[in-house]
Amino acid sequence: MNFIWVFMIIISYIFSFFAGTTDAVTKSVFDGCESAVSLVISLLGMMCLWTGLLEIAQKSSLTEKIQKLLYPVIHWLFPSVCKNSEVAGAISMSITANLLGLSNAATPLGLAAMEKLEKRNLIKDTASDEMCMFVVINTASITLIPTTLLTIRAAFNSLAPFEIMVPVWIASIISVLSGVLCAKICSRRKSF
């Protein structure tokens, strides 16, 4: 991330010198700060709501039930934490929210799972294999019903708003599997 971040900023400025967009780039710095703050504020309420509901689900052992349903998947993806009910429970809840297309819930639940994974991480400043795997899954889409997209397609009077669903599912599966396999292979190589 260190390299990517610096690269993005420097390349923007260099390119803007040639394209004559330097002013726009400078303005975008301030806009960026503002939109990051408004993003966090808009997320704050959702975050509280879902971490609160997650706590209820955990105390009532509802997460354990869901975790049992997802056990085969969790066991394959996160072999070392699948026995730990707190971590595996949080991961299961986050994956469920993603599958259901509850994007507002997915981020809070995902963050909760990350924090639980971090508690078990032995070297604090280096990501564990489980953390890498979890983030990779979240950067690829695992949504069964892309609600927002379907709504927009319908709003544009598509003759068949749902006809994209099958290719979307296949492409999602290919994308997630590539990421997961890539992470699995990398995790076996000590050089990473």
| Stretch 57-86 residues interacting with other proteins (CB under 8 A) | 57, 59-62
Q: Does 122 bind other proteins (CB under 8 A)?
A: no
Sole window of 67-75, 76-84, 105-113 interacting with other proteins (rule: CB under 8 A): 105-113
- d(CA 34, CA 37) in angstroms, rounded, equals 5
DSSP code for 160: -
Number of residues counted as binding other proteins (CB under 8 A)? 105
For the bound state, the minimum distance from the C-beta of residue 42 to other proteins, rounded and expressed in Å, comes to: 10
- 143 closest CA partner among 162, 169, 117, 167: 169
For the bound state, the minimum distance from the C-beta of residue 84 to other proteins, rounded and expressed in Å, comes to: 17
Distances 95 to 122, 131, 170 between C-alpha atoms, Å: 24, 14, 18
Interaction pattern, residues 123-152, with other proteins; x per rule: CB under 8 A: -xxxx---xx-xxx-xxxx-x-xxxxxx-x
- d(CA 187, CA 181) in angstroms, rounded, equals 10
Q: Which of 15, 71, 76, 79: binder of other proteins (CB under 8 A)?
A: 15
By C-beta, is 51 or 84 nearer to other proteins?
51
Q: CA triplet 154, 39, 95: central angle to 5 degrees?
A: 65
